[in-house]
Structure 1
Amino acid sequence: MSYSGYGSSAATWQERLEEKCREAQIHPPVFQIMSDRRGGRTAWSSTVTVQGQNIPARFWYDGQHVNNAKEDAAEVALKHLNGSTPSSPSQSRTGW
């Protein structure tokens, strides 16, 4: 599977990252969810450990969008493994 067209596949970033790890014969990614109390609400984010390196998501999310935090971290990790630096989108994402 080629990762040149990230948006062309129906696979999630998490699935793509797992596939990349299988192809590279490295340990599968391990996700960790974290929270931060902000006023009367809680913000959620994620890190993913790949090749012994903890890679954080770029954004914090509302509780109903916790999976987006894992997707964000997976996207950053996959781009890191592929040797490119992910940039922050110009539009804000759903969440915080």
Structure 2
Amino acid sequence: MSAAGPASPQGNSRPSWQKQLEDHCKEFSLAAPVFNIVSDRRGGRTAWSSTVTVAGRSIAARYWYDGQYINNAKEDAAEVALMQLKAQTLSSTTYPGQFHG
């Protein structure tokens, strides 16, 4: 057993982006994120990506993936969503004694 804590399926101790996004939503009383898989026919192959709906917004993953890597598309969408939510939280949250103008 590792001293760093439980490992994620990726083999490191960082929780998945999907888990981090779920935790963020719980912390800020937002509805749980809803992932949608999207596909695009490209020549003889199909490319796969994901969107995630959170806080009333649909946020797309940055990249397209081969079908066997659909979870990577969900991770990508979760990362983008989490970064946007954190940036929004930082810009709209005021803390006592800070950000006086």
Structure 1 Cα separation of the partners of residues 86 and 16 of structure 2? 16
Deviation string 1:49-95 (CA, Å, 9 cap, x unpaired) is 011100000000000110000000000000001007xxxxxxxxxxx
Correspondences of 1:6-21 after superposition (within 5 Å)? 9-21=13-25
CA-atom RMSD, angstroms?
A: 1.4
Structure 2 Cα separation of the partners of residues 9 and 64 of structure 1? 23
Q: Which has the larger radius of gyration?
A: 2
The percent identity for this pair of structures is: 64
The residue identity in structure 1 corresponding to 2:22 is: E
Q: Which has the higher contact order (CA 8 A, sep 6+)?
A: 1
Structure 2 segments unaligned to the other structure (5+ residues): 1-11, 89-101
- Partner of 2:84 in structure 1? 80
TM-score (norm 2): 0.73
Give the 4+ runs in structure 1 shifted more than 3 A. Answer: none
